[in-house]
Structure 1
Amino acid sequence: MTHIEIVEMDGQLLEGIGSYCLRSKKIGEGYKSKNKWLNQQFEKGLRYIQLLEEQKQVGFIEYTDAEYSSRVVHAEGYIMIHCLWVSAVGKGYGTQLLQKCIDDAKQRGKKGVAVLTNDHTSWTPSKALFLQHQFQLVATAPFDFELLVYPFSGDVELPYFPENWHERLAGYHNLTILRSFQCPYVEVATENILAAASKLDISVDLVEIQSREELMEKSPTPYGIFSVIYKGQLISFHRLTVHSIYKKLQTLLEEPV
């Protein structure tokens, strides 16, 4: 019989088992930055739970109180899921991890659980699992973002997005990267932007998001942790190849001011 273990990570276990994503490159800056970020967030109540199959990492869920989350969502009193990922599909592992989060939220007297999804990128969880477990679509935002929520009662206020996305984008004319290290792939995503910009001799403003308040104020998408903007337009909120970025930037560079 397959041995399954659900392990809630802490700083000591990060040194041993390690975090899930990018674990094949543990000496890389992205992986190290993620673990540093996790240790900081553990102090604020973040949960990072891995599922082990025969002592092998096969999935994880990361969630926190919405008031400390890396998603640009107003959701006071809710739990916000950042990530949910499994590599061994069809075994119910995703359901086990999600149920762990739901049970935790109920035990802590939360209003419910929320998650940000986007069908056009793998950088957010797939919404199919959540729709199977009483989550409902409550809001949408530009660039195909959706907010799914499982409220624990019918009389609680539902989470919602800000409404000034266009105004946020319009505030950036120079090529600008906004980032934090909730995701380890942000480092390589940044490197690709810098490489493409260098080929076109475009200078880059790199903004390190330092707080939840700054995130809520500046991010031009609900995803929050990585945004690339040029001439008031969103280039990307996830990793692209250098070639793809080059083409996007070149098109905007050639447009009249």
Structure 2
Amino acid sequence: MADEFLDLTADNLANEHLCCIIRTRRPHPGVEAKRVWLADRLNEGHVFRKLDERAAVFIEYAPLESAWVPVMGDNYLYLYCLWVLGSSYRGRGYGSRLMESCLADAEEQGRSGVCMLGARRQKAWLSDQRFARGHGFATVDETETGYELLAYSLDGTVPRFSPAAKVGTIASEDLTVYYDDQCPYIHQSIELVRARCAAARAPVALVHVETLEQSKALPCPFNNYAVFYRGRLETVNLLDSRSLDRLIGAS
């Protein structure tokens, strides 16, 4: 129905579109990888709530204890993504309704609040932090690499980045990408990096994060993807051709 939202469940996951990549009717490797990833997350309290039509209008969040991010805290929800894309959908209050549904879930579950990853400068692949601040989120922790943890606290407590997440460096000088299967676009970014680095004979390490424990121990902020080069955290944005070429100097 128009203007109605639905949650993905074990019963409808196989048939519902996943919002981000909606242009193709053929099976998409990134979408199918996310379906598998989600199937294992739903019984952990992970929520994927979407507009009940073929649109990129959705929110995704999970209990912080089981969220694949190096953030520590008691009794919080972690907000991975909130997107309303397309001129047909913006300005209709969908973003506020989705955010308010998440905050209401936190309150009904007796949670301490909701947190999310932000940055001193808005990053392309992170949800709009100005929008979040308008709903009561505030910076509660930050890293020297320019990332912030935003939180909406219901009881005065706040979460923190893990000590490892604040390191922001690794021993390897090679291009290193940490990634999981949560975002459907990750597959094509990883394949681009793999092919372009091979063509440029540039060494690269593609580190597939496959467990909660791995994600909690990562040496950087992480929402589902993080890039290091010459031992330093560069970005949590998914690499495209232009940004990759700027890093490795490929032609």
Please, what TM-score do these two structures have when normalized by structure 2? 0.88
Residue correspondence of structure 1 range 228-243 to structure 2 within 5 A: 228-243=227-242
Cα 1:176–1:150 change in 2 (3 A) is same
Q: Secondary structure at the match of 1:23?
A: coil
Describe the SS at the equivalent of 1:205.
Answer: strand
Residues 1:189 and 2:195 are matched in the alignment: no
Unaligned runs of 5+ in 2: none
| Counterpart secondary structure, 2:106 | helix
Aligned partners of 1:18, 1:164: CA distance in 2, in Å?
35
Deviation sequence 1:174-195 (CA, Å, 0-9, x none) = 3322210111111111122112
Letter of the structure 1 residue corresponding to residue 112 of structure 2: K
Q: Secondary structure at the match of 2:71?
A: coil
SS at 1:15's partner residue? coil
Instruction: After TM superposition, give the deviation of residue 228 of structure 1 in Å.
Output: 2.6
1:71 counterpart residue number: 69
What is the Cα deviation at residue 79 of structure 1? 0.4
Q: Which amino acid aligns with 1:193?
A: V
Aligned Cα RMSD in Å? 2.2
Q: 1:113 to 1:210 in 2, by over 3 A?
A: same
User: C-alpha separation between the residues in 2 aligned to 1:60 and 1:206?
Assistant: 28
Maintained 8 Å contact 1:120/1:144 = no
Name the residue aligned to 2:148. Answer: 146
Give SS of 2:12's match.
Answer: helix
Q: Deviations over 1:180-234 (max 9, x none)?
A: 011111111112211221122123322211212211212x321242223233123
Say if 2:13 is the partner of 1:14.
Answer: yes
Distance 1:74 1:166, change over 3 A: closer
Q: Give the match's secondary structure for 2:72.
A: coil
Contact 2:177 2:228 in 1 (8 A): yes
Question: Partner amino acid for 2:106?
Answer: A
Cα distance in 2 for partners of 1:8, 1:71 equals 22
Equivalents in 2 of 1:160, 1:229: separation in Å?
22
Looking at structure 2, the residues matched to 247 and 130 of structure 1 have their Cα atoms a distance apart, in angstroms, of 31
Q: Does 1:199 align with 2:202?
A: no
CA distance 1:240–1:193, shift in 2 (3 Å): same
2:82 aligned with 1:84: yes
Question: Which residue of 134, 137, 151 corresponds with 1:135?
Answer: 137
**Map of 2:37 onto structure 1:** 37
Q: Do the aligned partners of 1:71 and 1:116 also contact (CA within 8 Å) in 2?
A: no
Alpha carbons 1:71, 1:223 under 8 Å: kept: yes
3-state SS of the aligned residue for 1:148?
Answer: strand
Instruction: Give the unaligned 5+ runs of structure 1.
Output: 252-257
1-structure distance, mates of 2:43, 2:163:
31
- Pair 134,244 (structure 1): closer, same or farther in 2 beyond 3 Å: closer
Identity %, equivalent residues? 26
Change (3 A) 1:121 1:210: same
**TM-score, normalised by the number of residues in structure 1:** 0.86
Q: Deviations over 1:127-167 (max 9, x none)?
A: 1222122221212224432211111123xx31111344574
2:117–2:148: 8 Å Cα contact kept in structure 1? yes
Report the residue type matching 1:178 in the other structure. Y
DSSP 3-state at the match of 2:249:
helix
Aligned residue-pair number: 245
* Rounded Cα–Cα distance in structure 2 between residues aligned with 1:141 and 1:168: 8
Aligned AA (2:244): I
Aligned to 1:179: 179
| Change beyond 3 A, Cα 1:41–1:137 | same
Bigger helix share:
1
Alignment of 1:94-113 (within 5 A): 94-113=95-114
